[in-house]
């Protein structure tokens, strides 16, 4: 899911970096010090999700779960994902510093968008909750892959076929992300609904 350094063109790098800075700024602004601990822990959890490999067909993929983070944190997911991506760059050299803007936008943008749009559905019936969960996982992954392909295509028109190949290869992953997010959402609804801000937390 990460684009490595050295691939994207300067305008794409610059444009996505500006958008990522803006998104992070909004996310940080909406974050007060009472919630910051929760966001850091979820950022770490998001990082751990990327270490979980689930089988798919003959191989396996690692989870991303951006949509889930978006549902839980809303705008706060933006800085949380940026931080997790930075840590991944440090630990595993996935992505990098210069391309952090592009990767951040590709993953955090759809996550926040899906989270904000689908969160109201969580207040509905069980079926609606499941749908919201599936859509959050599926759509955030879909738009992430679309943005990734778009970033490649905008960098160089010759990337068109490679970009569509990447997009197509992500379809099974989208379904797995959708299913896992759906199951996690129904699990959280039963176990601790305040994580999804469905009830007020007992403070």
DSSP SS3 for 203 = coil
111 touching other proteins, by CB under 8 A: no
Gap between the Cα atoms of 126 and 141, Å rounded = 23
CB contact set of 83 (below 8 Å; sequence gap of 6+): 40, 43
141 touching other proteins, by CB under 8 A: no
56 touching other proteins, by CB under 8 A: yes
93 touching other proteins, by CB under 8 A: yes
Nearer to other proteins, 120 or 172 (CB): 172
Give the count of residues interacting with other proteins (CB under 8 A): 71
Gap between the Cα atoms of 103 and 96, Å rounded = 9
146 touching other proteins, by CB under 8 A: no
* Near other proteins by CB under 8 A: residue from 18, 90, 123, 168: 90
Gap between the Cα atoms of 156 and 3, Å rounded = 14
Would you tell me how many other CB atoms lie within 10 Å of the CB of residue 194?
12
* Near other proteins by CB under 8 A: residue from 66, 73, 86, 147: 86
* Near other proteins by CB under 8 A: residue from 120, 124, 126, 192: 192
């Amino acid at each position: 899911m990460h684009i490595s350094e050295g691939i994207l063109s300067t305008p794409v790098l610059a444009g996505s970096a500006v958008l990522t800075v803006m998104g992070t700024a909004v996310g940080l602004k909406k974050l007060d010090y009472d919630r910051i601990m929760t966001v850091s822990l979820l950022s770490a959890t998001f990082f751990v999700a990327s270490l979980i490999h689930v089988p798919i067909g003959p191989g396996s993929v690692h989870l991303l779960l951006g949509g889930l983070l978006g549902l839980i944190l809303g705008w706060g997911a933006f800085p949380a994902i940026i931080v997790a991506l930075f840590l991944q760059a440090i630990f595993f050299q996935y992505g990098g510093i210069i391309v952090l803007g592009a990767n951040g936008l590709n993953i955090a943008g759809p996550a926040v968008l899906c989270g904000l749009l689908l969160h109201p559905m969580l207040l509905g019936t069980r079926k609606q909750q499941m749908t919201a969960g599936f859509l959050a996982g599926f759509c955030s992954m879909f738009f992430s892959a679309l943005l990734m392909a778009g970033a490649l295509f905008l960098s160089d028109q010759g990337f068109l076929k490679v970009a569509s190949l990447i997009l197509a290869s992500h379809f099974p992953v989208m379904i797995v992300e959708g299913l896992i997010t759906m199951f996690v959402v129904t699990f959280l609804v039963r176990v601790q609904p305040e994580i999804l801000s469905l009830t007020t937390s007992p403070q």
